[in-house]
Chain A
Amino acid sequence: MENKKFKIIKKKEILKLLESLKKEYSIFVPIEDNGDARFSEFKSGQDIFWDYRNTKISPKEILFPQAETLFCFGPGAEVKAEGSTPGGKDYLIFGIRPCDAQAISLLDKVFGGEDFEDPYYLERRKKTTVISLACSKPQIDCFCTSLKGKPENEEGADIILFDLGEDVLAGAVTKKGEKFIEKQNKWFKDAGQSDVDKKDKLMDLSLNKIKSQIDIQNIKEKLDNAFNDLLWNEIHQKCLGCGICTYFCPTCHCFDITDEINPKAADSKTPEGKRVRCWDSCMYPLFTLHASGHNPRPTYKERMRQRIMHKFNYCPENFKEIFCVGCGRCIRNCPVNLDLREVLVSLMSLGSLCKDKKI
């Protein structure tokens, strides 16, 4: 870390650099969209939303779209899979916040894990270069430092950028990032010590802005025996059962696979249609509804428990990682202000002397 070689590039030059890469890459940048930020494919003449607070919808939608066609079928034709990047171009995700970059590294564990490999995700992931932008704009509901994150977290990124105002400092994180910078060398200059100092100062400032701090050490162990705890009866109470927290979460990855059949040929023996994969949410009753009509998670309580346990117990068990990066989206967007931090704090009080602690 200390010996990392930083490069520097003028902000204005970055637009030119991206412009020159358009042939090679599908480039995704944060842009302003209805007063919020959202990742969108880079178009010529478009400006990057440098100062964005984190995007409303997490950039996981680039690698794991809300709805994706797995393959199409039709009369007389063979099944054809379709999941690669359009036009065969590589992906460049530019300016993603470190918490979301970390989330990508978590998704990699799910979709490229030892037990299962997801060819659709992996194909795209293999072609993707992630350039993250260190966070100088934490919000009051950000709590990445309570987990493994920090404003300049490098996990999941190939290159990390620091916005110094006029200039942008760039540091390669992975081999892929090194190669990228090498190849685009003409745009970069070596950074001086003053620039690096400036960056350190900026990060300190940013770190201080993250005031929300919760202690969730050993949360996995706490939850190991908490499945039947009475606390769940209270935690879920105000939950409406919408899918905002899961749809906006950068690490939630549950999906549902359905066949969509053209109604024109629905009755024929060779129907025409496509198989699609869509985001699903454990907060919906349909998520676990059996064909028999039985639902093992019949009420809000079981569904809420599932979401928390999955992120903070099952995933640490399976992947050795907590599946939360502290981006705060679920807190920010919850229509009833059901605060994940509060839930975690009350779960941490489990087993302690004061059983009667308030939520």
Chain B
Amino acid sequence: MKNDNNWEPKIVTFLCNWCSYAGADLAGVSRLQYPPNIRVIRVPCSGRVNPFYIIKVLQNGIDGVLVSGCHPGDCHYISGNLVARRKFALLKSFLEYIGIEPGRVQFSWVSAAEGGRFVDIIEKVTSEIKKLGPSKKLSKWQKEAEYIKEILK
């Protein structure tokens, strides 16, 4: 983290069980390569993703978040992703409005058959977040940990 050249972003992804997670799986079994910066959290549906998850992830010092679900119309629960879409449209707009970089929090649709698309999206998201640098704006523990270290020295 200290050395800018070697810095690699950490990105948390919330992937829906029925489409995007399976898409990531397909990318794996098809031996398609994608950047190892993402950490996958499987969720039942993109509609399950509480906006607080995203803010909490940023607060915990993660550099970016990607939420990915089924394409509109493909939701296993019929409309989970459509309700989520509304929520995320507002969240993304709001976070940018208060000054969080637009690339930090991203949303995408990836179906179970789109291993290639999954790879492309991960590549795009990773390179964008890499360009933005480490996320500091909402992060809490960076300075706290330094403080604790100082006290415990």
Contact = CB atoms under 8 A, between A and B. Distances in A.
B61 interface: yes
A82 B61 contact: no
Most A-side CB within 10 Å, residue of B60, B61, B148: B148
A4 interface: no
A262 B145 contact: yes
B145 A82 contact: no
A97 B144 CA distance: 35
Contacts of B147: 72, 274
B152 A74 contact: yes
B149 A263 contact: no
B94 interface: no
B145 A272 contact: yes
A110 B152 CA distance: 30
A238 interface: no
Given A263-B60, A264-B61, A82 B151 contact: yes
Contacts of A241: none
A149 interface: no
A110 B141 CA distance: 33
Interface in B109-148: 141, 144-145, 147-148
A209 to B, nearest CB: 44
A80 interface: yes
A263 B141 contact: yes
A273 B149 CA distance: 10
A121 B102 CA distance: 45
Given A262-B141, A263-B141, A264-B141, A272 B148 contact: yes
B149 to A, nearest CB: 7
B151 A72 contact: yes
Residue of B144, B147, B149 with most chain A CB atoms under a 10 A cut-off: B144
Contacts of A80: 151-152
Contacts of A72: 147-148, 151-152
Q: How big is the A interface, by class?
A: 10 to 19
Interface residues of B, number: 10
Contact of A74 (B60, B61, B141, B148): B148
A74 B141 CA distance: 14
A265 to B, nearest CB: 9
Interface in A165-220: none
B144 A77 contact: no
Contacts of B148: 72, 74, 262, 272-274
B62 to A, nearest CB: 10
Interface in A211-270: 260, 262-264
Contacts of A272: 145, 148
Interface string B43-84: 000000000000000001100000000000000000000000
Contacts of B145: 262, 264, 272
A72 B152 CA distance: 7
A77 B148 CA distance: 11
B73 to A, nearest CB: 37
A273 B141 CA distance: 10
A276 B151 CA distance: 14
A74 B152 CA distance: 7
Contacts of A73: 152
A176 to B, nearest CB: 30
A35 B10 CA distance: 43
A77 B61 contact: no
Nearest to A265: B145
A93 B60 CA distance: 37
A297 to B, nearest CB: 28
Given A263-B60, A264-B61, A77 B141 contact: no
A254 B141 CA distance: 27
Interface in A51-95: 69, 72-74, 77, 80, 82
B143 to A, nearest CB: 11
Interface of B: 60-61, 141, 144-145, 147-149, 151-152
Given A69-B151, A72-B152, A74-B152, 5 more contacts: A80-B151, A264-B141, A272-B145, A273-B148, A274-B151
Q: Nearest 5 CB-CB pairs, A to B?
A: A77-B152, A72-B151, A72-B148, A263-B60, A74-B152
11 contacts: A69-B151, A72-B151, A72-B152, A73-B152, A260-B144, A262-B144, A262-B145, A264-B60, A264-B141, A272-B145, A272-B148
